[in-house]
Amino acid sequence: MADTSTYRLSFTQKSMFLAVLSAIFLAAMDQTVVATALPTIAKQLHALAHLPWVITAYLLASTVMLPIYGKMGDLLGRKSVLIFAVGAFLAGSALSGAAWNLDTLVLFRGLQGLGGGGILVSAIASISDFIPLEQRGKYQGLVGAAFGLATLAGPLLGGFVVEQWGWRWIFYLNLPFGLFCLSVIQWAFPKVDHRSVSFDWAGSVSLVVGLTALILFVDLPSGIFRYGIGILFLLTLLVLTQWSAKHPEPIFPLQFFRHRTFTASVIVSFFVGISMLGSISFLPTYFQVVRELTPTESGLQMLFLLAGMLFTSITSGRWISKHQRFRFFPIVGTLLIAISLVLLSRISVDTPIGLIDACLLLLGIGLGSTMQVMVLSAQWALPHRHLGVATSTVSLFRSMGGTLGVAGFGAVFTHFVGHSSHAHPEKIVLALHWDFMVSAVLVFFGFLAAWNLEELSVLKERRKTGASDFS
């Protein structure tokens, strides 16, 4: 076992890591901070019917571009891609703050998402460029903590900013932090010579069109147009699989799925994404409608989930770096997620709040033990030159799982509750029973997939022998 106790980051590495954490926090928080401002935006821009597109535009743009950013980072170097992504994010932030109607806000949010997706995948992958293999667990754990903190702090910060300064400032505040990230990236990150290979433009277009079609198919109401979108997704999927088998550097290398650890990492991430976003998205409705808590009180209840995520993200990363073993965490983590979801499926209109908080804490412990570890396992499974692809693929499947989960469980929720703005508390509880129970069943498939992960010592030995190189 390597001696990891004496490893220290240099000043330049600390600066790079600070820039990475700042960029990840910025992009992750923007996925949720806008939700709090939506009622105010609707009131000022006089547009309520299509308001969800303010969030959907960001998530759509950031999700579909993940594989392209991952591949471009591998080919051109993470520095150039990060600078472009942060620049696009800042431009989208400035323009979103200045938007004069809903259409322009949706458009500029798309530009912001275009940069946000690149920030997340490139920043996470860049850590592995300057931190040794044996030490990545500790620092990826800190990344997971920053991501969880940003995701849950977004609504609280958004509410404060909107009340004090107005909704436009939730975008303007990104500018000084983003400029700081840009300056550190430009100064600290080394320039990397890019690899002279042909970029997979056909595969990239097919993937972007296909992912866009899949997300729209899930979000749009039933009708001829929706089914046409579904057919488009199937056609692009067929084109992508055929093209990827021929291109020397495909945007979506299917041969990587022959590696059991990489495939298991992707499957676990997908089911965890479904269970996490798909199930907890409707808990605030329970707290506010059934238990009559204020929006602020409802947000504070979610801090128990955050506490569990922060604790295990940090401690699991340190444990992995010290002992050079990781397989235990996703196996136990997915099991804890399933158990917590089963317990949450038993809540009623008068369940003690303390018991719900305990379930959320357990859920956070499971999520913190799993999410960032899956990124690490995918990175360890593939050669370093495919680092961006490994990171972006896991991030893509987790994001797609979350998108499908929110849409699917939202449909279940609507089926029981209906479209009325005054739903009966018993109906909300019944809808949550089904949402949580189905989530538990789905994440159990992730638990089964986690058993296929190989231990770090096996992956390191395969790297030495070159057996993991599928090129």
Please indicate, yes or no, whether residues 156 and 191 belong to a single structural domain of this protein.
yes
Residue 3 Rama label (left phi>0; alpha psi -120 to 50; beta) = beta
Q: Is the pLDDT of residue 470 over 60?
A: no
Look at residues 142, 464, 457 and name the one whose alpha carbon lies nearest to residue 324: 457
pLDDT for 88: 93
Please indicate, yes or no, whether residues 143 and 42 belong to a single structural domain of this protein.
yes
Tell me how many helices (H) and strands (E) the chain has.
Answer: 20, 0
Please indicate, yes or no, whether residues 144 and 217 belong to a single structural domain of this protein.
no
Q: How far does Cα 24 stand from its chain's mean position?
A: 11
Each residue's pLDDT tens digit, 408-432? 777 777 777 765 556 678 888 888 8
Residue 368 Rama label (left phi>0; alpha psi -120 to 50; beta) = alpha
What is the length of the chain? 471
Residue 235, in any domain of the structure: yes
Q: Are 89 and 119 in contact (CB under 8 A)?
A: yes
Q: 180 vs 116, 147, 466, CA distance in Å?
A: 16, 19, 40
pLDDT for 50: 61
- Token pair of 139 as six digits: 């620092």
pLDDT for 363: 92
Residue 453, in any domain of the structure: yes
Strand, coil or helix: 195: coil
Rounded Cα gap, residues 98 and 104, in angstroms: 9
Q: What does the pLDDT average to over 242-263?
A: 81
**Residue for token digits 């920053």?**
146
Q: How far does Cα 212 stand from its chain's mean position?
A: 17
Higher confidence at residue 98 or residue 133? Answer: 98
Look at residues 305, 255, 276 and name the one whose alpha carbon lies nearest to residue 399: 276
Rounded Cα gap, residues 343 and 335, in angstroms: 12
Q: Where are the beta strands (DSSP E) in 85-157?
A: none
Residue 411, in any domain of the structure: yes
Please indicate, yes or no, whether residues 189 and 214 belong to a single structural domain of this protein.
no
Q: Are 376 and 369 in contact (CB under 8 A)?
A: no
Each residue's pLDDT tens digit, 326-345? 889 999 999 999 999 999 99
Please indicate, yes or no, whether residues 313 and 239 belong to a single structural domain of this protein.
no
Q: Are 81 and 25 in contact (CB under 8 A)?
A: no
**Residue for token digits 């739903």?**
423
Query: Which segment of 49-53, 117-121, 182-186, 269-273 scores lowest on mean pLDDT?
Result: 49-53
156-161: which pairs have CB atoms within 8 A and are 24 or more residues apart?
A: 156/36, 156/296, 156/299, 157/29, 157/33, 158/32, 158/33, 158/34, 158/35, 158/36, 158/37, 159/36, 159/295, 159/296, 159/299, 161/33, 161/37
Each residue's pLDDT tens digit, 97-122? 898 888 888 899 989 988 988 888 88
Q: Which range of residues forms the domain containing residue 210? A: 201-246
Q: What does the pLDDT average to over 68-94?
A: 87
Rounded Cα gap, residues 260 and 56, in angstroms: 33
Question: DSSP secondary-structure letter at 346?
Answer: T
Q: Are 149 and 25 in contact (CB under 8 A)?
A: yes
Q: Count CB atoms within 10 A of the CB of residue 43.
A: 11
Rounded Cα gap, residues 414 and 392, in angstroms: 32
Q: Which amino acid is at 363?
A: L
Please indicate, yes or no, whether residues 274 and 217 belong to a single structural domain of this protein.
no
- Token pair of 153 as six digits: 């702090």
Q: What is the DSSP string of 59-73?
A: HHHHHHTHHHHHHHH
Higher confidence at residue 26 or residue 37? Answer: 26
Please indicate, yes or no, whether residues 150 and 268 belong to a single structural domain of this protein.
no
Q: Count CB atoms within 10 A of the CB of residue 353.
A: 12
If one counts the domains in the chain, the total is 3
Q: Are 117 and 65 in contact (CB under 8 A)?
A: yes
Please indicate, yes or no, whether residues 215 and 336 belong to a single structural domain of this protein.
no
Q: What does the pLDDT average to over 211-240?
A: 83
Annotate 95-123 with b (16+ C-beta within 10 A) or e (fewer).
bbbebeebeebbbbbbbbbbbbbbbbbbb
pLDDT for 160: 76
Q: Which amino acid is at 421?
A: S
- Token pair of 419 as six digits: 């479209």
Q: What does the pLDDT average to over 167-185?
A: 86
Strand, coil or helix: 333: helix
Please indicate, yes or no, whether residues 348 and 364 belong to a single structural domain of this protein.
yes
Q: Are 110 and 424 in contact (CB under 8 A)?
A: no
Q: Round the average pLDDT of the chain to a whole number and report it.
A: 81
193 confidence band (pLDDT: 50, 70, 90)? low
Query: Which segment of 169-178, 234-243, 275-284, 446-455 scores lowest on mean pLDDT?
Result: 275-284
pLDDT for 1: 43
Burial class (CB in 10 A: 0-12, 13-18, 19+), 397: buried
Q: Are 97 and 168 in contact (CB under 8 A)?
A: yes
Residue 106, in any domain of the structure: yes
Residue 1, in any domain of the structure: no
Q: Is the pLDDT of residue 2 over 60?
A: no
450 confidence band (pLDDT: 50, 70, 90)? very high
Question: Considering 212, 246, 280, which residue would you say is the last residue of a domain?
Answer: 246
Residue 161, in any domain of the structure: yes
Q: What does the pLDDT average to over 188-204?
A: 72
**Residue for token digits 């789905």?**
442
Each residue's pLDDT tens digit, 349-392? 889 999 999 999 999 899 888 887 888 888 888 887 777 788 88
Burial class (CB in 10 A: 0-12, 13-18, 19+), 257: middle
pLDDT for 197: 63
Please indicate, yes or no, whether residues 364 and 286 belong to a single structural domain of this protein.
yes
Each residue's pLDDT tens digit, 269-310? 999 988 777 667 778 778 877 888 876 677 678 788 888 888
Please indicate, yes or no, whether residues 80 and 183 belong to a single structural domain of this protein.
yes
> What percentage of the chain reaches a pLDDT higher than 70?
87
Domain of 36: which CATH number?
1.20.1250.20
pLDDT for 246: 77
Q: What does the pLDDT average to over 207-218?
A: 83
Residue 186, in any domain of the structure: yes
> What percentage of the chain reaches a pLDDT higher than 90?
15
Please indicate, yes or no, whether residues 297 and 359 belong to a single structural domain of this protein.
yes
Look at residues 360, 334, 368, 344 and name the one whose alpha carbon lies nearest to residue 445: 334
What are residue 345's phi and psi, to 5 degrees? Answer: -70, -10
Residue 5, in any domain of the structure: no
Q: Is the pLDDT of residue 311 over 60?
A: yes
